[in-house]
Chain A
Amino acid sequence: MRPREIRVVERLQPAPDCVELVCEFPEDEGPQSGQFYMLSVGDGRDTYLPRPFSFYRVFSPRRLSFLFRVVGPGTRFLAGLRPRDRLQAMGPLGRGFPLPDGPERAVLVAGGVGVPPLWSLARSLLGLGCEVTALLGARTRSAVLGRPELEALGIQVLTATDDGSMGHRGPVTELLGGIEADGLYACGPEGMLRAVRDIAAARPLPRTYLALEAAMACGYGICLGCAVERAQPDPALGAYGTYARVCREGPVFRWDEVRI
């Protein structure tokens, strides 16, 4: 486990404040959907810690992309990278989405910049013969991410915006009301994940999986910084496994595994 140097080959700007960096890896990569990489930002001095990012699109075994919104010094650095620039990446890390044993009706729910882990998942589910629908939510039309990229896979995409400027007006989870699903896969803000969890509990829909986000320092399990409370203490740890690590036991959890 060592950070490896990767190279930016293309820089796309799918929304005014969002950037997709297509990167070339030194070896063939085969990450699971939902797994992530720790990306270095700058020289690691002023911006001391690497940042966790799910990979987004897969163009070839060595070519993956990362999609992010510019929110702070780390993402500002990444947004400033241009083709041929190099950065360090460590991964793939964590536990991704479990795939169904066979064809199912799969619904993907993304809020804000939550779409990255769902793009490759959609592709894998299609490969298994699943019927895949993606629901994308955002504040406003220009912030809806991933729609053309998901539509290019040939799946149905529905959108919801807070201001009604694209698709349904209201939370993206309201779109779930009219949709039959065997599996539900979600990534987005905490409020959205809670709403998905509540729907999973109410239907019930046991095959519901949530990709969590957390501040973390290491990404490989040693800092204990990304703790999330387990719904049930880990039996292997007796009464004391109160917390799971988002980076290690996650970032994907079944809806009833954690308290969010």
Chain B
Amino acid sequence: MTVDTQISIGNLRCKNPVWVAAGTFLYGREYGRRLPLEELGAICTKGTSLEPWDGVQGIRIAETPAGMLNAIGLQNWGIDAYLERNVAWLREQNATIVVNIVGKTVDEYAAVAAKLSPRDADAIEVNISCPNVSEGGVFFGTDLRMTEKVVDAVRKATSLPVIVKLAPNTHGLAEFAKAAEAYGADALSVANCIPGMAIDIRRRKAVMGTPAGSGGLSGPAVKPIILKMVWDVTAAVRIPVIGVGGVVSWQDAVEYLMAGASAVQVGSALFRNPNAPWDVAQGLEQFMRDEGVSSIGELIGAARP
């Protein structure tokens, strides 16, 4: 039985709904070999800013029950380095490229977006939800007016499909989703890491190296929470929603799709298994065959009343 796994996000066509989440893959070059990126729906690059960012000094990773905290602080080499070093490589791997962009100001977001031509990216994901930076990031994603401003500015700066990566720590996530939709977003990624922390009880201090002592929680621990957010946001907007949170197995992906997501992003699962997204994509396809599902559209929202 042949199954049709193709999905569309605005004008973006993807072979399947399994993507790689920003910041969990860099650009894939660390694998040291050719990667069959054409077998994945898309890859979201490391969050990329106008100028290079150093990231957090101090502890950046801590394991927590069924998950992990990270406080990388968007260490990245900037958009020019991306254009010089990584576009050609990603194109050689036949990747569908979603460039994740970050900024400290609205203008910086727009400036990064404006530097990306259709040759350099197939879509842009606007990260207004990183919990580990002291400027930008989640400070845009938890303020409705700022969310509108950033989305508006990026929308006006590019003709590429715009995906807005929402913050999980807002009151009234649906309002943020609607605002992004109203200002021209083609899709929403729900969500980013959930702010969290851990305490080193011997040293009597926070584990993570950020000034606030906090980090972003990801992994299986967050999946039920984000799954409900996807469920809720899907009901609030008409644009596609991409589920991001604790996808480790193909079963997790199926849950997200059935909740209403049009695609999923595999994130920190890559840290424990470099082949995780490919394994998820294969498992999903096998599930469709087993269940006699010929088109991925039949799964999207299948659990909704």
Residues in B245-304 with C-beta less than 8 Å from chain A: 248, 268, 270-275
Contact of A217 among B31, B61, B77, B78 (CB under 8 A): B61
Residues in A16-58 with C-beta less than 8 Å from chain B: 40, 44-50
Contact of A240 among B63, B64, B77, B248 (CB under 8 A): B77
Chain A, interface SS category: loop
B97 at the interface (CB under 8 A from A): no
A74: chain B residues within 8 A (beta carbon): 63
- A229 near B271 with CB under 8 A, answer no
Chain B, interface SS category: loop
Complex alpha-carbon distance, A227 and B76, angstroms: 12
Complex alpha-carbon distance, A145 and B123, angstroms: 54
- A221 near B30 with CB under 8 A, answer yes
B75 at the interface (CB under 8 A from A): yes
- B77 near A227 with CB under 8 A, answer no
Residues in B17-67 with C-beta less than 8 Å from chain A: 24-26, 30-33, 52, 54-57, 59-67
Binary A-proximity of B67-95 (CB < 8 A = 1, otherwise 0): 11010100101100100000000000000
B272: chain A residues within 8 A (beta carbon): 3, 40, 44, 48-50, 217-218
A215: chain B residues within 8 A (beta carbon): 59-62
Contact of A243 among B33, B55, B70, B219 (CB under 8 A): B55
B220 at the interface (CB under 8 A from A): yes
Count of B residues near A, CB < 8 Å?
A: 38
Q: What distance in Å separates the Cβ of B53 from its nearest Cβ neighbour in chain A?
A: 8
- A48 near B55 with CB under 8 A, answer no
Count of A residues near B, CB < 8 Å?
A: 32
Interface residues of A (CB under 8 A from B): 1-3, 40, 44-50, 74, 90, 215-218, 220-227, 229, 237-238, 240, 242-243, 248
11 contacts between A and B (CB under 8 A): A2-B274, A40-B272, A44-B248, A47-B63, A48-B66, A48-B268, A49-B68, A220-B30, A223-B72, A225-B61, A243-B54
